[in-house]
Structure 1
Amino acid sequence: MQTSTLLAVLLSAAALAPAAMAQGPKPASPAAARKAPRTAFGQPDLQGLWTNATITPLERPTKYGERLVLTPQEAAAAEGDRDKEVANGLKPSTDLDKKEIATCEVKGFSGVDCGYNAFWVDPGTKVMRVGTEARTSLITSTPEGKIPPLTAAGQARVAQRAKLRATGKAFDGPEFLSLGERCILSFSSSAGPPMLPLLYNNNYQIVQTPDAVVIEVEMVHDTRVIRLNGKHGPAGVRQWMGDSIGHWEGDTLVVETVNLRPEQAFRGASGDVKVIERFTRIGPRQIKYDFTIEDPASFTRPWGGELAMTATKGPLYEYACHEGNHAMEGILAGARLQEKQGKAVGPAAEEEGGQ
């Protein structure tokens, strides 16, 4: 490029910079300047061991408003707080220390639900960085970084699930317990779609063939098989992790998943949810992962976000969880005790007002 042409380009970029800054930070570009490496059969190479562990939440804390990117000082402060939590978790503790049990240092848990402190979990110690941007939330599709409101049908579905637990029906039999408790699928949405980080075991291994992309998920040892350039099966055939069909758009793997089982509902989604995912290699050690959730029966509008999957050392160890695990006996013991006492449980208890 001639010097005069280069100068004109730089001046034009400088003139546009104030307007771009006024609009606020934008998600990182889906394509990097570098060319993605190729497999032996010519596809962009996503293979390897990756982690999406992060202390960045799915939804943006209100204090950040519509700001997507943390300042370096804010990112350092958040990571410093996490380091302190881990250090506190390493300290000796008293089993019957009521104050410790009440706080337990694991966000979202308290009281008898404090099964472990910060020492026993591994959500990561760093905020989510996509490219070089330290993010305030994983959700990027809404200005405030929040999941959009549920529809009336979605609210009713969530309320019904809450009622099951409130009446005790959730502990009547294993079929009412969560998929994670039953060791059928990962807790939360680690296996996906969408594939999102959680308290621990946030590792994945990707293997490619000319006809498929296979993702082994550490949590509960799930395996997703994404068929390339295929067609979805019948709508009546519901599968764990859904029916995923992928295709390449340049260096980006685009995956559409439908036909999820209704038991795998994510954040109030129905069994008719559609999830669109995009995997793009943006550096030697990073894949940018985008997801969009479309479910008019549950959410007032589509929503989604993006995060980074960062290269990590292996191997990926087996998560030796299996259906009908020994803890199931303890989980269901309360309902069995009620039966011995002549009290109704499950559907009958619901009819009697949950007594």
Structure 2
Amino acid sequence: MSVRYPASFLVVLVTMAFSGLCSRSAGQVAPREAKQWVMPRTPDGHPDLQGNWTNKTITPFERAEGQGPVFSWDQVATLEGRADARVQRGAQASDPSRPPPRAGRSTGGYNNVYIDRGDRVAIVHGEPRSSLLTHPSDGRRPPFTQTGEQRIADYRAFRRQFGTYDNPENRPLGERCIMSFGSSAGPPMIPNSFYNNNYT
């Protein structure tokens, strides 16, 4: 199998793409060049999806209020710089002589080895998108309908009749290794903050 890096990846409401790293110089950020990508196809003409894929990105699912659909390249430099700095901080060696955590404080569950949330903004048609959600046009998730609210209420009422650990069906699908944690398995395929963003 070969490794492919598509220019765009559309799953339900999520339009994503990944390109090369943003070229930076002191005090100047150059836009990334949009590369023409041709979808590979199988001998019978269907899209060839073999290979290794990832949907990790620091582009938020919803657009911030007041933000347009596209980031400026200065915004991209700031966001990706923060992501790079976070990775560097997480890669620092732990102090073996540090004191134990205070009583009642969490020690945490994962260190940086298990975190793969991405460090680049999603690029679609050469534009750094400010949200993965593209419909509605404001990039914001609309409220649930009355029918949707009722379905959620019915589901919660159904679960309340069981104890948390009464049977395996009460446990989350990710915990049961049926699907990955969060919604990275879809639909829609939304990146999470851990290591479940890669597919083969």
| 1:122 maps to amino acid | D
3-state SS in 2 of match to 1:42? coil
Aligned to 1:153: 147
2:152 aligned counterpart, secondary structure: helix
> Do the aligned partners of residues 167 and 146 (structure 1) sit closer, same or farther apart at CA in structure 2, a change above 3 Å counting?
farther
SS at the partner of 1:77?
A: helix
Is 1:195 aligned to 2:189, yes or no?
Answer: yes
Q: Unmatched 5+ residue regions in structure 2?
A: 1-14, 17-34
Tell me: CA distance 1:147–1:169, structure 2 relative to 1, closer, same or farther (3 Å): farther
TM-fit CA distance, 1:121: 0.7
- Do the aligned residues in 2 keep the contact of 1:165 with 1:171 (CA within 8 Å)? no
Q: 2:52 aligns to what SS in structure 1?
A: strand
Residue 120 of structure 1 corresponds to 114
Equivalent residue runs for 1:295-310 within 5 Å: none
Q: Contact 2:117–2:191 at 8 Å: present in 1 too?
A: yes
Which SS does the other structure have where 1:53 is aligned?
Answer: coil
- Alpha-carbon distance in 2 for matches of 1:166, 1:87: 44
Percentage of matched positions with identical amino acids: 42
Q: Give distance in 1, aligned partners of 2:37 and 2:169.
A: 49
Q: Which whole-Å CA distance do the structure 2 matches of 1:174 and 1:150 have between them?
A: 29
Say yes or no: does 1:176 pair with 2:177: no
Deviations 1:187-225 (A, max 9, x none): 1222222222222231223xxxxxxxxxxxxxxxxxxxx
AA aligned opposite 1:70: F
1:75-90 correspondence to structure 2 within 5 Å:
75-90=76-91
Q: Deviations over 1:297-322 (max 9, x none)?
A: xxxxxxxxxxxxxxxxxxxxxxxxxx
Q: Counterparts of 2:36 and 2:91 in 1: how far apart (Å)?
A: 43
C-alpha offsets along residues 200-256 of structure 1, whole Å, 9 cap, x if unaligned?
231223xxxxxxxxxxxxxxxxxxxxxxxxxxxxxxxxxxxxxxxxxxxxxxxxxxx
Pair member with larger Rg: 1
TM-score, normalized by length of structure 2?
0.65
- Change in 2 beyond 3 A, CA 1:193/1:128: same
Of 118, 128, 135, the match for 1:134: 128
CA distance in 1 between partners of 2:41 and 2:185 (Å): 25
Alpha-carbon contact 2:70-2:130 (below 8 Å) kept: yes
For residue 97 of structure 1, what is the aligned residue in structure 2?
101
The residue aligned with 1:62 is 65
The answer to which structure, 1 or 2, has the higher relative contact order (CA under 8 A, 6+ apart) is 2
Residue 179 of structure 1 and its aligned partner are, at CA, apart by 0.5
Cα deviation for residue 61 of structure 1 reads 2.3
CA distance in 1, matches of 2:110, 2:61: 22
* Residues 1:166 and 1:42: Cα distance change in structure 2 (over 3 Å): closer
CA 1:34–1:128 in structure 2 vs 1: closer, same or farther (change >3 Å)? closer
Determine helix, strand or coil for the equivalent of 1:169: coil
1:73 deviates by 0.8
* Equivalent position amino acid for 1:97 in 2: P
Q: Distance in 2 between matches of 1:178 and 1:150?
A: 22
Structure 1 unaligned spans of 5+: 1-26, 102-110, 206-355
**Aligned residues of 1:179 and 1:186 also touching (Cα < 8 A):** yes
Taking only aligned residues, the RMSD between alpha carbons, in angstroms, comes to 3.4
Contact 2:55/2:191 (8 A) holds in 1: yes
Q: Partners of 1:144 and 1:95 in 2: how far apart?
A: 48
Higher helix share: 1
Structure 1 residues 154 and 44, CA, compared in 2 at 3 Å: closer, same or farther? Answer: closer
